[in-house]
Amino acid sequence: MRRALVTGGTRGIGLAIVKKLVAEGYLVTATYSADEESAARAMECVPAAEFVRADVRDERAVEALFERFSSLDALVNNAGIDLYKQVQDTTAEDYARIMDTNMRGAFFCVKHAVKLMLDMGGAIVNIASVWGEHGGSCESVYSASKGAVIAFTKAVAKELAPAGICVNCVSPGVIDTKMNAHLSSEEKLALEGEIPLGRYGTPEEVASAVCFLLSARYITGQVLGVDGGFCL
C-alpha cells in the first residue's frame, strides 16, 4: 500500500487532502500541533487515517514522526499559519513563528522524507500561496515565508530529480477555511469581487490539484495556482 504523510491534516485544506488520498488508496498519516478538538473530529471523520501530534517546527518531533515509516511515497507539506499585520507592527516573535512553521517545518519534513525516497523515488507537494508569488499587503512575513517555500521547492526539485523524486507547489488563492474565518462579511464580499471566478475556492479543489501533482511523474519544480484567476 502506498504511504503518504500530510502535515497539518486535521482541518481545512489538509483534511481535504487526507480524505482524497485515503479515497485513492493511500495509507495516510497526518499531523497537527495543538488543536485537539479538530484532531478528534478528523479522526472520527477519516478513521482510516492516522493522526499524530507533531509540531513541524521541532526537528526532534519530526524525527520521531519519521520513525513510524519504513517507506514513504508522498509527502504534502501543508501545515501553515498566517499573520495579518502591518510590517512596522510585526515582532521578531511573529517573524520566527511564521517562518518556523511555514518554511523550517517544510524543510525538516523534506529532509527526512528524502532519506526514505532516495531508493524508490517519490513525490512531494508543498502548499505555497498566491502571496508567495505576488506579495500580500499586511502579510509581508507570511508572503516571504511562502516565497521561500517556492524557491525551496524549485531548488530541491532540481537536486532530487536524478533520484526520481518530483517536488512541486500548489499555490492556493483564497480558500474557505478557518484561516479566513476572521474576515467580516464586507471584507469577504470585496475579496470575492476581485476573484475572476467570483468565489472562494474550496479545500477539495486544492486537494484535487495536490493529488494530480502527486501522480504526475514528468512534472517537477512547478507552481500550480488554484486561485480562481485571482492572479491573472
Catalytic residues: 142
Contact between 168 and ligand NDP per CB under 6 A: no
Coil, helix or strand for 74? strand
Site for ligand NDP in 98-117 (CB under 6 A): 101, 105
| Residue keyed to cell 526514505 | 116
CB of 21 to ligand NDP, least distance (A): 15
Shortest distance, CB of residue 39 to ligand NDP, whole angstroms? 6
Asked if residue 228 binds ligand NDP (CB under 6 A), the reply is no
Binding mask 11-50 for ligand NDP (x = CB under 6 A): xxxx----------------xxxxx---------------
Report if residue 174 touches ligand NDP, rule: CB under 6 A. Answer: yes
- What's the distance, CA 28 to chain centroid? 15
Q: Please name the helix (run of DSSP H) or strand (run of DSSP E) that holds residue 219, with its range, or none.
A: none
Comparing CA positions, the residue from 108, 216, 117, 122 lying closest to residue 170 is 216
Is 32 or 107 the residue whose CB approaches ligand NDP more closely?
32
Among 4, 7, 21, 139, interactor with ligand NDP by CB under 6 A = 7
Q: Is 139 in the site for ligand NDP (CB under 6 A)?
A: no
What does the alpha-carbon distance between residue 111 and residue 114 come to, in Å, rounded to a whole number?
A: 6
Please report, as a single letter, which amino acid is at residue 61: A
* 30 contacts 51 by C-beta, under 8 angstroms: yes
